[in-house]
Copies of this chain bind each other. A is one copy, B any other.
Amino acid sequence: MDHAVDLEGYLERLKEEGFRLTGPRRVIIETLLENLGRHLNARELMELVQEQDSNVGFATVYRTLELLVGLGMLNRISLEEGFSRYEVPDEQMHFHLYCRFCGKTIHLDDEKAKEALVRSWMGDSGFVLLPQTFEVAGVCSDCRQCLADGAEALAPCGKLCRGRGARFCRRHRGGAEA
């Protein structure tokens, strides 16, 4: 799944585009490539980068991320958490199941076939598909069990119920302990 991306080639590409190969950029890119499967966000990336070089600042991390995204060398993705995550684009697409309530993620198989299918959707639109990760939102079986009586009400379950929605979670409101 995480078949290594060539670091030197990646760095070279930056240079070919006319950007300078600086220390901070090097560390940031190395970190990104060493954590291919993790979908780091800016803060997580920052923390890892600072283990290597504590001088690198937030601004540089953000600027480098934006540069890479602008060059198509990095994808910005969102799990609706209120901030962005980033992934090094792979040759091919990836497909995940994402539980909207507990955040659990499952990686799907046969990605090549699925990608071909998605590509076929573009038809004669003139669009060219960019490899990306699809997060298919759903409810996992664990959370489904937690969903009380009114099955379609889809109230968040009490176990993980992380993030913003927690405040209105019926389980939490009742005081039934998180």
Contacts and interface: CB of A to CB of B under 8 A. Distances in A.
Contacts of A169: 70
Interface string A139-178: 1110010000010111110000000110111100000000
Contact of A72 (B67, B106, B154): B154
Mostly helix, strand, loop or mixed at chain A's interface? Answer: mixed
Number of copies: 2
Contacts of A23: none
A168 B66 contact: yes
Contacts of A170: 17-18
Nearest to A165: B70
B82 A167 contact: no
B134 A165 contact: no
Contacts of A100: 72, 130
A155 B66 contact: no
A168 B70 contact: yes
Interface stretch (A33-41, A50-58, A120-128): A120-128
A99 interface: yes
9 contacts: A66-B165, A67-B168, A71-B168, A72-B154, A72-B155, A97-B125, A99-B127, A127-B138, A127-B141
